[in-house]
Amino acid sequence: MKKFVRSTLWVTVVLATIFSARPTHAQNKSNKLSQLTFVANQLSNDMSGYSVATNGALLPLSNSPFGAGQAPNSVAVVPSGRFVYVADVVPGGISAFRVDKFGAVSPLPGAPFASETGTAFVTTDPTGHFLYALSCGENCSGTGSGDIQVFTIDQNTGALAPVVGSPFAAGQYPYSLAMNPTGTFAYVANAGSGDVYTYSVNMQSGVLTQFGSPVAAGTRPLSVAVDPLGLYVFAANTTSGECFSLHHKFRWFPGASGRISLRCRSLCGGRHCIEEWQICFGHC
């Protein structure tokens, strides 16, 4: 087996902030869940935690940083703010933490949870019931096919369990996943194959179904995002010297009618490009 080379990971620090877990009462200052930020530190194998002051300043949490696995590369926080998950690239695993209403952070029992070698990215669905973890392929070389592991999140304990059918196929070196606001579609940037895969999401089971053809996204797209209205998808690539534009159509997920059109334009500056797709219901 080839030795994992950390230099293959372009993003060494990933920021995750709890936005949606707001206190029940605005004056209840003891509830800190809406005021915390976490950072994965790949070289020191830990996760830093901060409280966010009213002026935006970051204040280290007590006992921060918190130990994680080897080469932690991504942080995900459930919408309620109660659980935090960290992707550990080597040898593969997902560290997990509980956050109480006062902002205290502690490891979850049973963590780290098993996952594949090269787990480089984690995110949750908008409901906080499922965790999606990307494996960046064989030894994270950028050439082997990767996949998407999907886990249910126990709403009481935060424990992870694989869903039926997991893992799901992705392209080469999948590195980022984003969902539309309702959690019905997922988009995966594959850095190795230079494209974006599209999936429909079963909101009851978390199961992914790929549909349509992969959409070209330049060289080594490492991040993908969906705008707050769910109308646009953005992918950032790192080494393209040119820009791409496309118009791509494919059928909706099985059982639904109509078509989705993807219209792409490129926003370029210097050597770096951002690919933008508009999701059109009917005609663009």
Domain that holds residue 149: 1-172
Instruction: Tell me: cis bond preceding 181? Omega within 30 of 0 counts.
Output: no
Q: Which of 172, 201, 230 is the last residue of a domain?
A: 172
Q: 128-149 pLDDT, tens per residue?
A: 999 999 998 665 655 668 899 9
Q: 85-131 pLDDT, tens per residue?
A: 999 998 889 999 999 988 899 999 999 999 988 899 999 999 999 99
**What CATH number did the domain enclosing 96 receive?**
2.130.10.10
Please tell me the predicted confidence (pLDDT) of residue 235.
85
Look at residue 2 and tell me whether its pLDDT is greater than 70: no
Q: Taking residues 145-174, what's their average pLDDT?
A: 95
Please tell me the predicted confidence (pLDDT) of residue 137.
65
Please tell me the predicted confidence (pLDDT) of residue 28.
29
Q: 209-230 pLDDT, tens per residue?
A: 999 999 888 888 888 888 888 8
Please tell me the predicted confidence (pLDDT) of residue 143.
61
Amino acid at 70: Q
Instruction: Report the share of the chain in percent with pLDDT over 90.
Output: 51
- Do residues 17 and 89 share a domain? yes
- Do residues 166 and 253 share a domain? no
- Do residues 181 and 268 share a domain? yes
Q: Which of 154, 172, 190 is the last residue of a domain?
A: 172
Dihedral pair phi/psi, residue 140, rounded to 5°: 50, 40
- Do residues 229 and 145 share a domain? no
Q: pTM of the predicted model, to two decimals?
A: 0.77
- Do residues 155 and 240 share a domain? no
Give the number of domains in the chain: 2
- Do residues 150 and 196 share a domain? no
- Do residues 16 and 99 share a domain? yes
- Do residues 163 and 191 share a domain? no
Among the listed ranges 174-178, 190-194, 200-204, 239-243, which one has the minimum average pLDDT value? 239-243
Pairwise CA distance, residues 244 & 240, whole Å = 10
Q: Which of 157, 172, 187 is the last residue of a domain?
A: 172
3-state SS of the chain: helix, strand, coil percent to 5?
5, 50, 45
Q: Do 45 and 81 touch, CB atoms closer than 8 A? A: no
Is pLDDT larger for residue 77 or for residue 284? 77
Pairwise CA distance, residues 129 & 121, whole Å = 17
Q: What angle do CA 83, 169, 249 make, to 5 degrees?
A: 105
Dihedral pair phi/psi, residue 194, rounded to 5°: 65, 45
Q: Where in 140-226 does DSSP place strands (E)?
A: 145-153, 160-162, 168-172, 174-179, 185-190, 195-201, 208-210, 215-216, 221-226
Q: Taking residues 56-62, what's their average pLDDT?
A: 92
Please tell me the predicted confidence (pLDDT) of residue 250.
32
Q: Taking residues 165-179, what's their average pLDDT?
A: 94
